[in-house]
Amino acid sequence: MLDDEPAGGPTFLDRLFDHGLLVRTGVDGLYGRSGAFESVVDALDRMITRLGAAEGAEVLRFPPAMSRPAFERSGYLKGFPNLAGTVHSFCGDARGHAEILACLEAGTDWTGQQEATDVVLTPAACYPVYPVAAARGTLPAEGRLFDLQSYCFRREPSLEPTRMQLFRMREYVRMGSPEQVLAFRESWLERGTAMMRDLGLPVAIDAANDPFFGRAGRMLANNQRAQGLKFELNVPVNSLDKPTACLSFNYHQDHFGSTWELRQADGAVAHTACVGFGLERITLALLRHHGLDLAAWPEAVRAELWG
């Protein structure tokens, strides 16, 4: 079992830097990773593929950004305006360029002429897929299942290595009837738990809520919990009493279906659910529980990852 870190000693993040597993960039939550770290991420990615292989999910990969109109329509800004990241670019002329250089020289703010573009950073791997699915028309009777992976951006700088500003999320997304979607979530709760157990990680399944912004957000969060819409698989990583969500299971009901006018075969608004795997977070959980030397990990865990 994991011990809490001795007060005053190096933190888990310090030790990850010292071993070169994570590389400092000068920004909290923005890190380079070593080959060893990436070998775990790659192995987890393959393991998640194996777990989902039987269902024949449609693989789609998007760049870590999405269209601003799609982002606006998705509703993300209602819940999480504080986490969003927009891409801004210089749209000026030669005079504007000279001003930028003068500001840099003087050490003053040079960003005044940066303008919002039509590109926004992806906040969760599933966000780009709903408009794509809706554009194909009504769902077939069996619904749809997608396999996604993306870098995701959230402006939540932290000294906890598990809370990054840019991180990779693998997701399966199910679209269909409430029954299809809930059966999907049920089966992934089981598979996800088994996967973590096979990796030698202690997990607890807990009801959860998203960190909706502001006072109105409180109500949304309470509602989400009361209706059992979000569950997390939590593993102690940074501390014993505040375990970290490594997998999330989200039932959106008809939120994305109505937002994107996505319909079931019988014409009813589609329901959706997703399971999200935090690839860096699971990697960090493994490093915390089995140690920073991959070669010394339990044989059974190494076999799960690398065969």
Give the interface with ligand ATP as residue ranges (CB under 6 A): 124, 154, 156, 162-164, 167, 169, 210, 245-248, 276, 278, 280-281
Question: Which residue of 126, 139, 233, 294 would you call a contact of Zn ion, by CB under 5 A?
Answer: 126
Nearer to ligand ATP, 147 or 210 (CB): 210
Residue bearing tokens 């906040």: 123
Nearer to Zn ion, 16 or 126 (CB): 126
Nearer to ligand ATP, 47 or 164 (CB): 164
Would you state the structure tokens that stand for residue 102, as one six-digit string? 């003068």
Quickly list H helices, the chain: 12-18, 35-52, 68-74, 76-79, 94-106, 129-135, 178-198, 214-226, 255-259, 279-290, 299-306
The nearest distance, CB 25 to Zn ion, in angstroms, is 27
Q: Choose the one of ligand ATP, Zn ion, none that binds residue 126, judging by a C-beta under 5 to 8 angstroms depending on kind.
A: Zn ion
Per-residue contact flags (x/-) with Zn ion for residues 80 to 119, judged by CB under 5 A: ----------------------------------------
The burial of 41, by beta-carbon neighbours within 10 Å (0-12 exposed, 13-18 middle, 19 or more buried), is given as middle
Q: Choose the one of Zn ion, ligand ATP, none that binds residue 248, judging by a C-beta under 5 to 8 angstroms depending on kind.
A: ligand ATP
The nearest distance, CB 76 to Zn ion, in angstroms, is 11
The nearest distance, CB 46 to ligand ATP, in angstroms, is 18
Q: Choose the one of ligand ATP, Zn ion, none that binds residue 278, judging by a C-beta under 5 to 8 angstroms depending on kind.
A: ligand ATP
The nearest distance, CB 7 to ligand ATP, in angstroms, is 24
Q: Are 165 and 29 in contact, with CB atoms under 8 Å apart?
A: yes
In Å, what is the CA distance from 306 to each residue of 34, 36, 86, 200?
17, 13, 38, 15
Nearer to ligand ATP, 25 or 117 (CB): 25
Question: Which residue of 129, 274, 282, 305 would you call a contact of Zn ion, by CB under 5 A?
Answer: 274
Q: Are 176 and 146 in contact, with CB atoms under 8 Å apart?
A: no
User: What are residue 278's DSSP bridge partners?
Assistant: 169
Please, which residues have CB within 8 angstroms of residue 14's CB and are 6 or more apart in sequence?
none
The nearest distance, CB 212 to ligand ATP, in angstroms, is 11
Nearer to ligand ATP, 196 or 262 (CB): 196
The nearest distance, CB 168 to ligand ATP, in angstroms, is 8
User: What are residue 28's DSSP bridge partners?
Assistant: none
- 3-state SS, 16-35, equals HHHCCCEECCCCCCCCEECH
Stretch that binds Zn ion, among 1-9, 37-45, 47-55, 272-280 (CB under 5 A): 272-280
Can you tell me the distance from the alpha carbon of 13 to that of 163, in angstroms, rounded to the nearest whole number? 11
The nearest distance, CB 301 to ligand ATP, in angstroms, is 19
Terminal Cα distance for the chain, rounded = 25
Residue 150 φ then ψ, to 5°: -155, 150
Q: Are 237 and 281 in contact, with CB atoms under 8 Å apart?
A: yes
Binding site for Zn ion (CB under 5 A): 124, 126, 274
